[in-house]
Structure 1
Amino acid sequence: MDLKVNKNYIWVYFITFFALWCIRELLLVQYLDLMDSVPRAITSAVIKVVIWIIPVLLLVKVMEKEVPLSYLGLRQNFRNGLKWTGWASLVFISYFVILNFTILDNNVDFRIGFNEWLNTILLVGITEEIVFRGFLLRKLMDSFKFWIANTITSLLFISIHFPIWFYKGLFEFPYILTTSLTVFILSIIFGYVYKKSGSLWSVIVIHSLYNLLVSLFY
């Protein structure tokens, strides 16, 4: 493969991906809101899989000439990934328990709807980590040192949340500043865990766990 093509196709992919995601958030969501909860959740999940996962699998197969699951880190280092998953999960759980029970005095709310379970907790960890850690971070590390690649990936990770925040009316100061910082730090952590564990499953699990904890406490 031509070296220039190999370096630049990920940016074409991301721009296209970002445009499709904006269309989904700003246009399709308005239509989805007219549907009943379960069909809306399933339709949203299908759209997310089509936009997030399928293009990455095809790109890895065609452009990288590798088995997608192996390239993304979904077939190896399960034991090491499990170790990192355990430590990271313990840190996140401890943080949320201490923050919400001793400082903020929040209660746990176990009323989580089907759409939140499917799209915010279960599917988000899979889709976002395949795109950002499994694919983008992996590709950027071919051209940059890890911390530079991780920083670029994290900035891109923030940007993909902009359409969601804009649609929900949250794209305003100071929310946008504090939330962007939180997302950036989380992405840096996810990237570090991915590099150290060598397993994408580790960050898929802790990403979904983090979203579950947010749903329970906020």
Structure 2
Amino acid sequence: MDDTKKKRYILKVLTSYLVVFYSIWAVYTILIEPLIEKGPLLLNLIGGNFIKLGVWTLPSLILLKYVFEEKPLDYVKLSQNRLRGLAYGSLYGVVIVVYVSVSRFLSSGELKFNPFFSLDSWIGGVLLIGFTEEIVFRGFLLQKFEEAMGSKYANAITAVLFLLIHFPKWYMQGNLFMVEFMMNSILFIPLFSILMAVLLKKTNSLWTCIIIHSANNFAMFALGA
């Protein structure tokens, strides 16, 4: 397969994948997740997180292995440069927590830091977030789009896609129509995505992105943001 055909093939597969992925996730978030949240705590903790792993992470790894014929863990950069990724992730993770805390204090005039937030948020929003979101967006989509159209466009497209995947949840929370919330999110999330792309390139390890994403969410939950 020549280079042009390869790029077209990648874009065709990614387009089909994204249509299915975003459709399934929107239906799940709007129709199914509210039912799970009303159920027993164990169902919420295990069921919701397993569903996200099944809808987000597993399909991307399957596509890499059986459609693109890659070694999934190597491709998403989980199996190499672990120490380098952990070191950079820890360093920038601390920076993120401090930045979010200072920003919160400057905007509200107070700082209430509570690390004892809900177990569901700890498991799904902090501990598993890298495996459910970073593998898909930085490990899979960013790098595949980069193969098809170069870093500049890949970074921009991935940033927009990362923003859009949050829309169903924001709709259910009522945040989609809150102007201040949306303005802050539209600025922060694409910039966060681009920062993750830069650090992935610099460290050649997805562990950097995983730890920073976890640190960011930890700060948000601990500050009640």
Deviation by residue 1:125-165 (Cα, 9 ceiling, x = unmatched): 22110100000001011122313211110000000000000
Write the deviation string for residues 156-200 of structure 1: whole angstroms up to 9, x where unpaired.
Answer: 000000000001111114122221211111111111111111111
- Which one of 152, 159, 165 corresponds to residue 164 of structure 2? 159
Q: Is the 8 A contact 1:38 1:115 kept in 2?
A: no
For 1:111 and 1:23, the matched residues in 2 are separated by: 31
1:150 corresponds to 2:155:
yes
1:108 — aligned with what?
113
Q: Which residue of 1 aligns with 2:223?
A: 217
Deviation for aligned residue 1:31: 1.2
The worse-fitting range, judged by mean Cα deviation, of 204-213 and 176-185 is 176-185
More off after superposition, 78-87 vs 18-27: 78-87
What secondary structure does 2:115 align onto?
Answer: coil
Q: For residues 39-72 of structure 1, give each alpha carbon's deviation from its aligned partner in whole angstroms, at most 9, with x where no partner exists.
A: 2121101110110111011100012212110011
Q: After superposition, where does 1:78-97 map in structure 2 within 5 Å?
A: 78-97=82-101
Paired with 1:168 and 1:93, the residues of 2 have a C-alpha distance of 24
Equivalent residue, structure 1, for 2:177: 172
Out of 115, 133, 139, which is 2:138 matched to? 133
Q: 2:10 maps to what in 1?
A: 6
1:42 maps to: 46
Residues in 2 aligned to 1:55 and 1:182: alpha-carbon distance in whole angstroms: 27
Tell me what 1:15 maps to: 19
Establish whether residue 58 from structure 1 lines up as the match of residue 62 from structure 2: yes
**Residue identity (%):** 30
Structure 1 residues 2-11 or 185-194, which shifts more? 2-11
Contact 2:101 2:111 in 1 (8 A): no
Q: Secondary structure at the match of 1:142?
A: helix
RMSD, aligned α-carbons: 1.6
1:169 maps to a residue whose letter is G
Contact 2:90–2:211 (8 Å) recurs in 1: no
Matching residue of 1:200: 206
Please give the per-residue CA displacement for 1:107-135, whole angstroms capped at 9, x wherever unaligned. 11233111111111112222110100000
* Cα distance between partner residues in 2 of 1:130 and 1:99: 28
Task: Report if aligned partners of 1:121, 1:209 keep a CA contact under 8 Å in 2.
Answer: yes
Which range is displaced more, 57-66 or 172-181?
Answer: 172-181
Distance 1:110 1:160 in 2: 26
2:176, 2:182 within 8 Å by CA — same for their partners in 1?
Answer: yes
Residue in structure 2 matched with residue 71 of structure 1 by the alignment: 75
- CA deviations over 1:81-118 (Å, ceiling 9, x no partner): 13321331232122134334566322112331111111
Q: Is the 8 A contact 2:89 2:210 kept in 1?
A: no
For these two proteins, the number of residue pairs brought into alignment is 218
Amino acid paired to 2:58:
I
The answer to whether the Cα contact below 8 Å between 1:6 and 1:63 also exists between their aligned partners in 2 is: no
In structure 2, list runs of 5 or more residues that go unmatched: none
List runs of 5+ in structure 1 lacking aligned partners.
none
For 1:35, the aligned partner's letter is G
